[in-house]
């Protein structure tokens, strides 16, 4: 069987048109002004790829190029078995369609389950010093731009600080935490937790809350985010690729590079529903442990609604848009309240 090919001598740019023949265990080629042969075992054939010509590397440094569809299947049948299988699969449309579906499912599974799981595992091993540095850098980026000096009366601030310190001191499993109050006209009534343990309340939030239990209820929810390292985990989930690269190259300190994403996240603080539920449960238990009815959290949210009857999309009620008062959350708060009252006043 004569197969058309191009012969390259490896010393010049000239191309010879030749015909290649296999004779037992030898390969021979013949063309105008060129001919030769070589043992089949010493010919190095490239892998089979759809649409790509075969390259046969000859012992003397020359090459033969044979079109993909012209190469007899039995000439180098024992070589590149995996590539041969791939070539067979690539020629079947049903395999291509199945591959697309499998890749789509795999991508969905990775981003929905794999990446969050891996990000949480990485977050659990981030040194506390790195987390503190990230929080402090984030606060320095916000201070003076978004967070301005508070106008809340000093005695009121001192009272809230004492409440917060006493409440948080009696909670187990918390990292070191502190309260910070800032005026933030651009984000209105809001509260959020920084990775270094800082819980920020805006002036608008302080002024909107009706009483101390409401303040502690919101504080307990934010402390729930602190206890579970939700900020770091959520940001790492969003920056999963960067985190994976940092861990792969062994440069954990480069995790501080994602700090620039934290202020944007905090100003929108849209935690996942699972993280919000975790923070809610932490708050309900923390309030009950210290003799405060867990319904105070729902009362605080309703107070914010009454203080700002305008649309929940307006900036003045940012906390409500970030922590939506859906029926499930209200129902959980009410259930926790019933359990609290029943424990305090059993029938």
List the structure tokens of 309: 């009857």
Span 151-192, pLDDT tens digits: 999 999 999 999 999 999 989 878 889 999 999 988 888 888
Q: What is the mean pLDDT of the chain?
A: 81
The three-class DSSP label of residue 62 is coil
Residues in the chain: 347
Concatenating the DSSP letter of every residue in 22-33 gives EETTEEEEEETT
- What does residue 111 show for φ and ψ, rounded to 5 degrees? -75, -25
Span 102-148, pLDDT tens digits: 988 987 887 778 877 877 777 777 777 877 887 888 888 888 888 99
CA distance 31 to 62: 14
Q: How much is the pLDDT for 260?
A: 54
CA distance 184 to 201: 9
State mean pLDDT over 218-234: 88
Cβ atoms of 233 and 193 within 8 Å: the answer is no
- What does residue 176 show for φ and ψ, rounded to 5 degrees? -55, 125
List the structure tokens of 28: 């021979």
* Nearest Cα to Cα of residue 183 among 153, 162, 213, 163: 153
* Nearest Cα to Cα of residue 199 among 279, 287, 293, 128: 279
CA distance 296 to 220: 11
State mean pLDDT over 78-99: 74
Cβ atoms of 27 and 20 within 8 Å: the answer is yes
Given a cut of 60, whether residue 227 has pLDDT beyond it is yes
Residue bearing the bigger pLDDT, 277 or 246: 277
Q: How much is the pLDDT for 313?
A: 47
Domain locations in the chain as residue ranges: 2-80, 126-344
Q: How much is the pLDDT for 291?
A: 93
Domain 2-80 falls under CATH 2.60.40: no
State mean pLDDT over 223-242: 78
What is the C-alpha radius of gyration for the chain, rounded to an integer number of angstroms? 34
Given a cut of 60, whether residue 315 has pLDDT beyond it is no
Span 193-216, pLDDT tens digits: 888 889 999 999 999 898 999 999
State mean pLDDT over 33-51: 84
Span 326-346, pLDDT tens digits: 577 778 888 999 999 998 877
Q: How much is the pLDDT for 286?
A: 94
State mean pLDDT over 52-67: 90
CA distance 235 to 278: 17
Q: How much is the pLDDT for 232?
A: 79
Given a cut of 50, whether residue 311 has pLDDT beyond it is no
Span 275-286, pLDDT tens digits: 888 999 999 999
């Amino acid at each position: 069987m004569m197969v058309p090919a191009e012969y390259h001598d490896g010393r010049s740019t000239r191309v010879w048109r030749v015909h290649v023949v296999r004779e037992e265990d030898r390969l021979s080629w013949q063309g105008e002004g060129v001919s030769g042969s070589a043992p089949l075992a010493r010919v190095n054939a490239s892998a089979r790829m759809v649409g790509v010509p075969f390259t046969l590397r000859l012992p003397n440094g020359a090459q033969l190029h044979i079109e993909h569809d012209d190469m007899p299947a039995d000439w180098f049948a024992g070589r590149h078995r995996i590539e041969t299988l791939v070539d067979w699969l690539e020629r079947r449309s049903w395999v291509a369609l199945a591959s697309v579906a499998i890749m789509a499912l795999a991508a969905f599974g990775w981003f929905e389950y794999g990446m969050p799981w891996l990000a949480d595992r990485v977050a659990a091993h981030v040194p506390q010093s790195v987390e503190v540095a990230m929080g402090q850098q984030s606060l320095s980026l916000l201070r003076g731009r978004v967070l301005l000096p508070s106008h809340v009366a000093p005695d009121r601030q001192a009272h809230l600080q004492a409440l917060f310190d006493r409440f948080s001191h009696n909670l187990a499993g918390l990292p070191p935490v502190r309260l910070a109050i800032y005026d933030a006209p651009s984000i209105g009534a809001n509260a959020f937790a920084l990775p270094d343990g800082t819980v920020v309340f805006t002036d608008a939030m302080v002024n909107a809350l009706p009483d101390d239990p409401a303040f502690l209820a919101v504080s307990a929810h934010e402390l729930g985010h602190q206890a579970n390292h939700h900020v770091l985990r959520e940001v790492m989930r969003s920056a999963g690729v960067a985190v994976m690269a940092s861990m792969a190259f062994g440069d954990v300190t480069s995790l501080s590079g994602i700090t620039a994403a934290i202020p944007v996240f905090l100003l929108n603080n849209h935690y996942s529903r699972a993280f919000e539920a975790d923070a809610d449960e932490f708050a309900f238990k923390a309030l009950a442990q210290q003799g405060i009815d867990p319904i105070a959290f729902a009362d605080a949210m309703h107070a914010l609604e009454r203080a700002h009857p305008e649309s929940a999309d307006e900036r003045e009620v940012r906390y409500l848009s970030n922590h939506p008062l859906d029926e499930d959350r209200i129902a959980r708060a009410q259930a926790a309240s019933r359990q609290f009252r029943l424990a305090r006043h059993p029938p």
